[in-house]
Amino acid sequence: MKLRIADTEIFVGYEAVAALTAVLLIDRENRFICCLAAAVVHELGHILMMRLRSVRITGLRLRLFDVLIEADEPPSFGADVLITLGGPAANLAFAAVSLPFSFEIGMPQLALGIFNLLPAMSLDGGHLLRICLERRYSARVCDIILTITTIVFVLPLMTAGIYLLFKSKYNYSFLAISLYLLTVLLLKK
């Protein structure tokens, strides 16, 4: 599904709409709304930093597991670092303000902000690691280092996820996150 607002093309994948609808229908305690709000705050943090660094946004793609904000030209190294950190910074700032008043609203903000700083593929921490490495190493070496760091973070996360699932009998969050990161890693190859 495509639409245009001003000179920004917005694309929303049908699978993202279907998944969002399904989750909203089965989420009786409205916890997903707080997680969705955290994702919106996160992306708005990136957009705000792009605006502050005068990077023109040309497209926004919402897919099943990620959001891609497209620019007309690549930002400078400094701007790229700030834009990358803008999402987690927005989550952490929102968490700092909301946690004293509402655990349900603040905790997803805190979790998403910290999680996205992990140096793993498809996360802001992974992007930050890549742009720092690219200043010194070839793209191939950067890919190898990023693959290794992703595995280093995914394996303990998966182990913790399996343990948590068996211990709690219902909490599969860490396992789902680690499977997502592992899938991203395998699809990039």
Domains in the chain, number: 2
Can you give the pLDDT at residue 123?
Answer: 92
Amino acid at 15: E
Can you give the pLDDT at residue 84?
Answer: 96
pLDDT digits (tens, 9 = 90+) for 76-101: 999 999 999 999 999 999 999 999 99
Query: Quick one: 137 and 111 in the same domain?
Result: no
Closest to 40 in 3D by CA, of 101, 108, 99: 108
* End-of-domain residue from the set 117, 135, 154: 117
- pTM of the complete model: 0.86
Query: Quick one: 2 and 91 in the same domain?
Result: yes
Under 8 Å between Cβ of 49 and 76:
no
Under 8 Å between Cβ of 122 and 184:
yes
DSSP state of 131: H
Query: Residue 189 — very low, low, confident or very high, per pLDDT cuts 50/70/90?
Result: low
pLDDT digits (tens, 9 = 90+) for 90-148: 999 999 999 999 998 999 999 999 999 999 988 999 999 999 999 999 999 999 999 99
Domain enclosing residue 108, as ranges? 1-117
pLDDT at position 188 over 80:
no
Query: Quick one: 30 and 60 in the same domain?
Result: yes
